[in-house]
Structure 1
């Protein structure tokens, strides 16, 4: 077997060695590590609940984060959770109950407890009825054996005494309503006799139909309604009823005017009886007559 050399130093001195001897054990005091050459051979002893030793970096972070009222990794989400310091450095987790008045939650040895509501209600008939009534009832409230009346008295009139009866839960409203003849309902038939029937309504609507047609030379001057019936009033058409129209609003007018002479000039004052303006038809007729004219007085051989 080869001899083993044992050296003691720090982590910095070990890292500074350019070459580690494989037959040498290096004990690094500051980090509690043992190397055989470049190979990590062992570390210091880990701490436990009964003996001191090494602590991992993760455990150290958890230890540093511990504070009063917390447990590593646990934080109360609201006031119902209570984390407290126990004996010998331990932690306890408990439940906190609100002290607001009316809260019925209690903490028992086996957990939370909500007391049962022991309130009961009953309708009780009083021994003496109120004056003028056949019976008087009161609503009685009982809490944990202690009773008291609540609300006003319920007085039953003498002419509305119920000899017997039963309580029924309505499941189908239609089935629980009896069929009654019209004659059994006082005044119903008389009321129905005065109501309109379908033919009354259709006839009234038909009477509203009014036919009306356009009238030549007349315009609508007014429209009136009386009891749903519409009437129309007309009058004669006058010049003011015809709106003034621009030249471009009359189809073809601009084109037709473009082919006409702009101005006609007369040598003397215009007289409708003597100064007649010729139309194109007059001009065409005059041209034709000129072409066909023959002077019978001028013939050859008359000189």
Structure 2
């Protein structure tokens, strides 16, 4: 007997496409969040990146408010906030405000990676050694969301007592151990850093301590999913993401590019191998192939939830990919 499908969530990179501007990316972000909401996706997350012309989600909480205005049911959240870049008090104010705007729908995923280069960190005023204080900053952030039952001079209004779901993000043992220690749900960034996926999940589950945030481990696995009516079309659409990752190794992080017919003629064998390793956790094909690929990844990881990235240049093709994926996986439209 086949197990019921686990929830699917969506991580939106809010890509700025060649020939378009950030205003177009943000308009599409709200539209794709609304689309995911109607298809039955569980969460819509965006991530904090800085000094990247091709990504329009630097002001993460603002983008989430924009997405939330166009949706009714889906949870909205950060995948994630790079906490070393911020005062926990300020993040509490921002996400407390989101919780007031969208009650019962806000996730606060936290990461310790910089989300940018060292020069930009100086512009952000991220202090040296901030990443080493990450566990303490997480605890402080949680403190600001505690109910204001005791007298206190400082409160991060409107965060005090607000309903926000905390998540730990990671791509290594560190995040897994911290999530387990704090009793938090855990999201692994296997959509671009898959090497330690199995090891991190095993460590998280073995060391998990129940808490008020989660009574049992809950692991969400990141996976790139490109679905089209044919395998050939899905592979063609995937070239947009493959070219984007190749740009990392070429030192040329440009705008999102339209798909091409023959990527093997475009990149070198070394680039193909390096990008292939980063994007190893990808499922690309027609609906049957996508269903089979997700089934295999679930069997391997015992994931409680998938969060998918569908980095497709054309918005119409992206909506089609999400619709085909939702249908193949058995999501219930709302």
TM-score of the two chains, using structure 2 as the length reference = 0.12
Larger radius of gyration: 1
Higher RCO, Cα 8 Å, sep 6+? 2
* Larger relative strand fraction: 1
TM-score of the two chains, using structure 1 as the length reference = 0.13
